[in-house]
Amino acid sequence: MLLKKPLRLSKAWVVSLKTLLHLFLLGYLAWTFYLAVIGQLTADPVQGLLNFTGIGTVNLLFATLAISPLAKWLPCGDVMRFRRMVGVYAFVYGLSHFTTYLVFELQLNFSQLSSEIAKRPYILVGFSALMLLLALSVTSPMAVRRKMGKTWQQLHNWVYLCLFLALLHYSWSQKTLWGDPLIYWAVSLLVIYSRRQKLKRGLANLGRKPSLNRKKAP
């Protein structure tokens, strides 16, 4: 056994690790924008940024969803203290993705934005995923969470739909079905697998009418 007792992170450790995470996630985003500005991010900087921020969003969603299984398996439950932050960064990257699209691809043509969302299903799907991430982010402060009570968890279970929409958007934006998105779908199966108990419970509850809940389980 590596550790005799669970590893607890002191406040100082949490603060320093969070600072490092901020520096890394913001720094990476800023550095990539800088590369695009100086023309070093592939030949087509707009496409390069769209790829980076889009894939970054999905990666951060995966990271967010990996934290609670990790908290169970690692002898350190304190990793949960980073989940909210990583989740909000998924939204930050998603927002940069959308902003890049609006500012540099559509050149702030808002009427084209609405027609593109209406005409192209894959853009509608991506936009819906972003709106879900927005809803999850604005309800992430502790004060809001406390006020929302049980509905908070119900709302935040939509993160799975958000992941599904994000991956659908990614696959659909490609010219062929065979490609990198397949790897991401495979990883999403891992995310589901790590939650199979929760999923089973959820499905069982779906199949039951509320009145049947009073019956004792066999």
Partner 1 sequence: MAKKFTPSVKLTDNDVTDEAVYRQRRQFLKSLGFVGVSAAIASPAQAFGLFGSDDDKAPKVATEPLTFTSPAKYQAKDAKTPYGKVTGYNNFYEFGTDKTDPAANAQGFKTDPWTLKIDGLVENPLTLDHDALTKRFALQERIYRMRCVEAWSMVIPWIGFELGELIKAAKPLSNAKYVAFETVYDPKQMPGQRSRFVGGGIDYPYVEGLRLDEAMHPLTLLSVGLYGKTLPPQNGAPIRLVVPWKYGFKGIKSIVRIRLTDSQPANTWNLLAPDEYGFYANVNPHVDHPRWSQKSERRIGAGGLFSTKVIPTEMFNGYQEVAPLYKGMDLKRNF
CB of 28 to partner 1, least distance (A): 17
User: Of 10, 111, 176, 213, which one interacts with partner 1 (CB under 8 A)?
Assistant: 176
> Under rule CB under 8 A, which residues in 38-97 are in contact with partner 1?
38-47, 49
Nearer of residues 49 and 65 to partner 1, judged by Cβ: 49
Among all chains, which residue has been given the structure tokens 């998603």? 94
Does residue 179 bind partner 1 (CB under 8 A)?
yes
What string marks each residue from 111 to 130 as x (binds partner 1 by CB under 8 A) or -? -x---x--xx-x--------
Does residue 153 bind partner 1 (CB under 8 A)?
no
Q: Quote the longest CA-to-CA distance of the chain.
A: 67
Does residue 173 bind partner 1 (CB under 8 A)?
yes
User: Of 177, 186, 212, 217, which one interacts with partner 1 (CB under 8 A)?
Assistant: 177
Interface with partner 1 by CB under 8 A: which range of 61-69, 87-95, 166-174, 200-208? 166-174
User: Of 55, 59, 84, 104, which one interacts with partner 1 (CB under 8 A)?
Assistant: 104
CB of 217 to partner 1, least distance (A): 45
What is the distance between the alpha carbons of residues 183 and 88, in angstroms, rounded to a whole number?
Answer: 24
Among all chains, which residue has been given the structure tokens 């999403």? 188
CB of 161 to partner 1, least distance (A): 22
Cβ distance 65 to 159 under 8 Å? yes
Angstrom CA distances, 41 to 36, 46, 49, stand at 5, 9, 8
88 Cβ partners below 8 Å, 6+ apart? 137, 140
Cβ distance 7 to 75 under 8 Å? yes
Nearer of residues 144 and 182 to partner 1, judged by Cβ: 182
- Tell me, what DSSP letter sits at residue 120? -
What is the distance between the alpha carbons of residues 165 and 96, in angstroms, rounded to a whole number?
Answer: 17
Hey, what amino acid is at 175? K
**DSSP string for 52-63:** HHHHHHHHHHHH
What string marks each residue from 4 to 33 as x (binds partner 1 by CB under 8 A) or -? -----------------------------x
Among all chains, which residue has been given the structure tokens 């709302």? 155
Does residue 172 bind partner 1 (CB under 8 A)?
yes
What is the distance between the alpha carbons of residues 179 and 27, in angstroms, rounded to a whole number?
Answer: 28
By the criterion CB under 8 A, which residues form the site for partner 1? 33, 36-47, 49, 104-105, 107, 112, 116, 119-120, 122, 172-180, 182
